Amino acid sequence: MSLQDHKNLNIVPFVSVDHMMKIVLEIGVEEALVGITEYLEEDFRRWKLFDKTPRVASHSHEGVIELMPTSDGDIYGFKYVNGHPKNTKDGLQTVTAFGVLSDVHTGYPVLLSEMTILTAFRTAATSALAAKYLAPKNSECMAIIGNGAQSEFQALAFKAILGIKKLRLYDIDPVATKKFVFNLESKGFEITVCDSAEQAVQGAQIVTTVTADKQCATILTDNMVGAGIHINAIGGDCPGKTELAAGILERSDVFVEFPAQTRIEGEIQQLDADHPITELWQVITGQAKGRTDPRQITLFDSVGFAVEDFSALRYIRDQLEATGQYQDLDMLADPDEPRDLFGMIMRAAPVH
C-alpha cells in the first residue's frame, strides 16, 4: 500500500496491537524480522537523505518519555516511546510506543500504528543488521545478558540473519530466563542457562547486553571480554545508563547509529567526546571498514534512532494490503470547503 492509496485523505489506516500480532504471525516472526532488516538496510544506504536529530527526551526520576522524528523528504515519521524500568514491578511494560507516518507534501498522516511490539522487532533487526557487517564470520553462539521483553526477538533475529543456533543466557532474575527458555525451547536453539554474566560470555562469539535498569551498571567487566568477539550493547540508551566497563570501550572498535545522540545516551558517554567511532551507515555503504581482523573486538553501541522506526513503519504499511490487518480511522476533519471548519460542525447538529 503506497502513501497515496487511500482515496479519502481524512481516513487514516490504524494498526492496533491485535492487528500487529496478526500481521507478524501471518507473515512469520522470523520472516518479519528478515523483512524489517531489509528495509533497514535500504534506508541505511540512503542515510544522507534523512533529516536527523537526537530524540526529544523528557526525563523524570521514574523514566523517560521521548519523541523520535525523521523524514526522507517525501515521508515524515515519528515515534512516541517511554522507558520506565520500574513499571515491571507494577505489572506494566517498561517500554510502550506508537508511531505515525505522514505525507510530507500534504502534511496528512497516512499511518498510525502501535509500536510497542514493532519497536522490539526493529531493535532486534537493527542488531542483526549491524552484526551482519561486524560479527566474526560463521558465528554460532551468542550470549544474551538480560532476558526481558526484548531478548527473544534478539535471539530470533540473529538466528534468521546470521544463523545463530547456540544461546547462553543470564539474568539476575531467574524467572526472566525461565520465561525465555519456555518461549524459545522449540525454536531450534541449543540453550544453556548460566549462573553469571561471566559464565554466559564463555565460548560466545557475540555478546548481547539488554538490561533495563536506569543506572550506570557494569554488566560486562573488562576481564570478561576477550579478543575477537562482537558486542551488541542495547541497554545503555539514555544519559546515566550504561552496561559496559569503560575499559572494554577503549579496546573496541565502536560503531554507532547517530553520533550526536549516542555520545549523550550510549556506552560512549563514558569516554571523551573525541574518542573515535564509526557510523554504521558508512560500513553498510562501503565508505568505512567494519570487521578487519579475527582478533578485533567490535562494539555496536546501539541506542535506537528514528530512521529505524521509520523503516519499520514503512515495512508494516507495505504489509497492510496483503494482510488486511488494519482499520480506518476517521481522524482528520474534511469540510466541503477547506476554510469552513465551523460550518462543518454546525451542519452536524441534529435537526429538530
Residues with a catalytic annotation lie at 237
DSSP string across 303-336: ---HHHHHHHHHHHHTTHHHH---EEEE-S---S
Rounded to 10°, the helix 116-134/29-45 angle is 70
Integer Cα distance of 164 and 184 in angstroms: 13
46-67: buried (b, 16+ CB within 10 Å) or exposed (e) per residue? ebeebebebbebeeeeebbebe
Tabulate helix, strand, coil % of the chain (nearest 5). Answer: 40, 25, 40
> Is 13 within 8 Å of 326 (Cβ atoms)?
yes
> Is 280 within 8 Å of 300 (Cβ atoms)?
yes
Integer Cα distance of 117 and 95 in angstroms: 10
Greatest Cα-to-Cα distance within the chain, rounded to the nearest angstrom: 82
HSE-CB at 197 with a 13 A cutoff on CA atoms is 22
Q: Which residues contact 7 (CB under 8 A, 6 or more apart)?
A: none
Phi, psi of 111, rounded to the nearest 5 degrees: -160, 135
Phi, psi of 275, rounded to the nearest 5 degrees: -60, 130
Give burial (CB, 10 Å; 0-12/13-18/19+) of 330.
exposed
